[in-house]
Amino acid sequence: MAATGLVAAVDARVVTPYDPQLASSLAKSIIARALPANAPNGYVPQVNDCPSNKPTVRSANGLSTEETSWLPKRRNATLDPMKDLLSRMNITGLDTTAYINSHSNNASALPNIGIAASGGGYRAMLNGAGVLEAFDSRTSNATSAGQLGGLLQSATYISGLSGGSWLVGSLYTNNFTSIDQILATNTPASDSGSLWQLGNSIFEGPATGGVQLLDSIGYYSELQNAVSNKADANFDTTITDYWGRALSYQLVNATDGGPAFTWSSLANQDWFTSGTAPFPIIVADGRKPGETLVSTNTTIFDFNPFEFGSWDPTVYGFIPMQYVGTNFTAGSPTTAQCVTGFDNVGFVMGTSSTLFNAGLTTINGTNTTGLFNTALQDGIEAVLGRIGKADDDIADYPNPFYGWHNATNPYAVSEQLTLVDGGEDNQNIPLHPLIQPYRHLDVIFAIDSSADTNTTYPGPTSATGWPDGASLVATYQRSLNATLENGTSFPSIPGIDTFMNRGLNNRPTFFGCDAANQTGPSPIIVYLPNAPYVYNSNVSTFDLQFNDTERNAIVLNGYNGATQGNGTLDSQWGACVGCAILSRSLERTGTPVPEVCNFCFQKYCWDGVVNATAPGPYVPKMKLTEVKVSSSGAGRVGVSGVAALAGVVVGWTLL
């Protein structure tokens, strides 16, 4: 991998040196960007006559016609990457190339792969980025023997939530760019990119230069103008509008953060329509009318390029993504007018991460002289005054499910749909859209960047900011709820105490290896928890400022977690990943399981043994040579008062 800005002390087995020529060529390759479908109207949604074929709510009794038509293109596009990937895995006893070739005319027989990136702020975005970098065949040296490059190209689906949605959303908004490309555009060799420049807090605005020619005053004015223009067009605005616009300056490589870029426009990109990239899904939770807290059995909503809606029996419906923002009644547009441009990419990513709205609300009544101009502060205070403090962390949408499925849908009574951070139901890994039976996934790589140990093990000698398996536990428990499971099945997951006592939260673990021992068809979960491989990446969810060496060290740590130190920790790790990918496919085709796979399953599959005793202090050890970096220190949270974020939402599983 090209690790820009990292110190020279990194072991050569772990990272290749920075190459300025490579960086320059990669930078030029992402100048082209996603579609500004709402141009020239910027952030303001547009109201026009509905098309002759009016959008309607469809029942969630299968995949959309668009996704169904797209899938064969994607599955065919995964064949060559999958052959190349598996051929490097050294799965002795199985000619993987011949196996893929023999079933190439029947994609349903072959492995169907998903990737899920958890929430957890920039920690989650960067740790997940390291894993995806290891999975990406475009990464330097990622296609060497035993490496995992090509797994991303072999995947059919990828989902993100909160910080994970920033990762997925940023890659897709920028033409399915690579992590290598993003890091390369932030080097002295290039001035063409401005992605992931985290040296300035999101509350300070981007550094002047590149395509973001703004000072702080200009930044705040642009945020205020965009949101007030949307409000002037008679659309409700919330703190999420400000938050999403601010996010875009760091995540979208376009002037002013691409205010005209829409999530639905991804469906029109050549690289997507041809099946070149996995199907992206962003997840948010619903908040029922009258509620201020989200329960664990809340309705989960999905955003994909084609549709928005929910598989849950409560709502059980989807609308075309392009027309999110349109007023619907009983499944059809309320009037002859339809809205487009509401699905701004930053607003979608912000909806999945409303946890951070608490940061913006701290300016209400806080002395922020020199950091926020009066117009911005007045605008946010006006929103707070309108929606009330109890709802300061919401995203507000015209409810497409108003009057829809009245008997089961708690949102049917309200013309507004309130959505919140996708991790508020404790399912911080966005597995829900990937375990839907219509998608037939065989294996899901679950990247867990949660910071559960902040609240579950607060002892003075324990380390905070690491996962403890709580998200998997929450998804498993929800799968047992007969009123919500909707035909989904999930592997049996032990309790948090077992995760901690047996070290399952500190190393890769496979769940659901024995398909015969499941309550229904379910994928294998390859659990990849954040752990200290070369860097203590357990930074706070509310650290909002990182210099390049810190940023790259967290990415590098995730890369080493995905590759197990390029095989340093286990030379057969690549083979074991290959076995997890192939397992369900081998069962379907009646192919004998290679002996190396039996070895891998004994080593990495949870064996069903539990240990429910109270865990001791959790102090994980560094697994490889530690990377030393210069620290941003106290400057990480760039606004006085924003540090109080941790106190605002302490107790959430994603902290």
* Predicted local distance difference test score (pLDDT) of residue 384: 55
What pLDDT, in 10s, does the model give residues 556-566?
999 999 999 99
* Predicted local distance difference test score (pLDDT) of residue 345: 98
Q: Which residue has the higher pLDDT, 463 or 30?
A: 463
* Predicted local distance difference test score (pLDDT) of residue 383: 57
Note the maximum CA span of the chain: 69
pLDDT at residue 234 tops 60? yes
Rounded to whole angstroms, the Cα distance separating 1 from 16 reads 6
pLDDT at residue 635 tops 60? no
* Predicted local distance difference test score (pLDDT) of residue 277: 98
* Predicted local distance difference test score (pLDDT) of residue 402: 98
- Pair 178, 138: CB distance under 8 Å: yes
pLDDT at residue 391 tops 60? no
Strand partners, 280: 158
**pTM score, two decimals?**
0.90
* Predicted local distance difference test score (pLDDT) of residue 567: 95
pLDDT grade, residue 631 (50/70/90)?
A: low
**Residue 5 — left, alpha, or beta (φ > 0 → left; ψ -120 to 50 → alpha)?**
left
Strand partners, 133: none
Cβ count near 141 (within 10 Å): 12
Strand partners, 333: 328
pLDDT grade, residue 638 (50/70/90)?
A: very low
pLDDT grade, residue 108 (50/70/90)?
A: confident
Range in 47-56, 136-145, 212-221, 270-279 the model is least confident about:
212-221
What pLDDT, in 10s, does the model give residues 153-196?
999 999 999 999 999 999 999 999 999 999 986 544 333 357 89
Phi, psi for residue 309 in degrees, rounded to 5: 165, -155
What pLDDT, in 10s, does the model give residues 95-104?
999 999 999 9
What pLDDT, in 10s, does the model give residues 281-306?
999 999 988 776 778 889 999 999 99
Write out the H or E segment, with its range, that includes residue 418.
strand 416-421
* Predicted local distance difference test score (pLDDT) of residue 208: 55
* Predicted local distance difference test score (pLDDT) of residue 393: 62
- Pair 505, 499: CB distance under 8 Å: yes
* Predicted local distance difference test score (pLDDT) of residue 514: 87
User: Token pair of 482, please?
Assistant: 């007969």
Going from the N-terminus, what domains does the chain have, and what CATH number goes with each? 20-189+198-648 (3.40.1090.10)
Q: What is the mean pLDDT of the chain?
A: 85
Rounded to whole angstroms, the Cα distance separating 198 from 123 reads 12
Q: Which residue has the higher pLDDT, 386 or 525?
A: 525
* Predicted local distance difference test score (pLDDT) of residue 360: 53
From the list 396, 351, 124, 373, the residue with the least C-alpha distance to 245 is 351
Range in 27-41, 216-230, 511-525, 586-600 the model is least confident about:
27-41
pLDDT at residue 487 tops 80? yes
How large is the average pLDDT for residues 60-65?
A: 98
Q: Which residue has the higher pLDDT, 379 or 307?
A: 307
Rounded to whole angstroms, the Cα distance separating 535 from 89 reads 27
Range in 57-66, 445-454, 458-467 the model is least confident about:
458-467
